[in-house]
Structure formats: structure tokens, C-alpha cells
Amino acid sequence: MPSPFPTSLAVSDAITHYRQLRELTCDELAYALLMLGHPIPADAIAEMERCARPVTVDDLVAIAYALSTTPVVLLAHIPIDMPEPEGPLGTGLPSDVDQAELRAWIEGKTALDRESRVRWWEERAGRLRVRSAHHEEQLQGAYAELHELGELALQEADAPPVQRLQWRIKDGEHALNQSEVALALTEDQLDSLREDV
């Protein structure tokens, strides 16, 4: 059997993921679909989850509703154990479209022509710059509080207020680092898109 297309893999894994998240068996999901007027037998659901049976658009809508999610979530799903994809995340899409851009496109918030993609990535970089500045400001505030405590912070390192402040600093450093990494990756993607223009 040929390897399934990436969108089929995403939807198959998403059905399994959200069914298990809702603690439903295939039989229970089949019953819910029957009650919605779109019957799909449990063995057919299991085949969809194995990517051995195609999921129609009607199936996608009914299953998403039965699982209390949306078709967009199922379509833009990326399996957590998926290795680094060698190709596109969606069938027929450019290979450099990431999950956030894929979801924005599916939701109609952006197009995938070059100009729209550059604009979308510029906006994303702007949001990440604001987020990084916010994390930096919060972290500097926590450092200032620790500095104000001075000797007390050294003498009572296990005191709850000092511990909370240290946790805030640790969390702030982590958040700032994550924002800076995301911004660097976004700016790299933006540079790549601009070069292709």
C-alpha cells in the first residue's frame, strides 16, 4: 500500500487522539455518529484511524462535531510522535508551511501566495517581538525585586516569598528563551521567503 498523503495521516491520527482524549471507544464514537444521523460503523472508524480508509468531507465534519472539536483542528493536527517531516504538512502545500501557518490558511486567515506568506510571517515576527519584550520586562522586574531583598534573599532562600520570586525568575528566563528561539526561527523563515520573491 502506498504511503498516505500528509493530510490523511493528520486526520487519521487526530481522530484517534481526540477520541481517546474524550475517553470514547470506536463503538461509542460510532453510536454518537449514528445519533447525529451520519452512521459510520466502529470497524470503519478503526480503519480511518489506521489510514486504511479515506475520510470524506462529510465524515470529517460529523466526526469533528461528535468529538467536540472542529474540522480545522482535525485537518491541522500534527501527530506528537511524528518525526521531522520531510515533505509538506498538508497535501500539495509548500514544504515550509508550518502548523501555525497551515491552520491560519485552513481558517481563511491567510493565503499561501508568496506576498500573503511574507505578510503573515512579518505579523508573526511582530507578535513575537512584543512577546519577547514583555517577558524581558517581567524578568527585569523580578530581578529588581530580588535585588531589593538583597541580604534577606541570601539568608532566607527557602522562605516562601523568596522561593516564589526565584520560580518567577526561572519561569521568566525560560519564557524569554522560548520567545527568542521562536522569533529567530520566524525571522529565518521570513528571510527565506523574501529571498524567494
**Mean pLDDT value of segment 184-191:** 92
Query: Model confidence at 2, in pLDDT bands (50, 70, 90)?
Result: very low
pLDDT at residue 25, rounded to an integer:
97
pLDDT tens digits for range 149-183: 776 666 666 677 777 788 889 999 999 999 999 99
The letter for the amino acid at 111 is A
* All three cell numbers of 68: 467536540
Q: Which ranges of 67-155 does DSSP label H, i.e. alpha helix?
A: 71-75, 99-106, 114-149, 151-155
**40 vs 150: which has the higher pLDDT:** 40
65-94 b/e (C-beta count within 10 Å ≥ 16 → b):
ebbebebeebbbbbeeeeeeeeebbbeebe
Residue 3 backbone class (left: φ over 0; alpha: ψ -120 to 50; beta: rest): beta
Q: Is the pLDDT of residue 122 over 70?
A: yes
Q: What is the mean pLDDT of the chain?
A: 88
Q: Report if pTM > 0.75.
A: no
* Residue of 37, 53, 93, 3 whose CA lies nearest to 15: 53
Which residues, 6+ apart, have CB-to-CB distance to 17 below 8 Å?
77, 79
SS3 121: helix
Tell me the C-alpha distance between 75 and 68, whole Å. Answer: 14
Show the domains of the chain with their CATH numbers: 6-106 (1.10.260.40), 114-196 (1.10.287)
pLDDT at residue 167, rounded to an integer:
87
Instruction: Please give the share of the chain, as a percent, with pLDDT higher than 70.
Output: 89
Instruction: Please give the share of the chain, as a percent, with pLDDT higher than 90.
Output: 63
* Residue of 108, 103, 50, 109 whose CA lies nearest to 73: 103
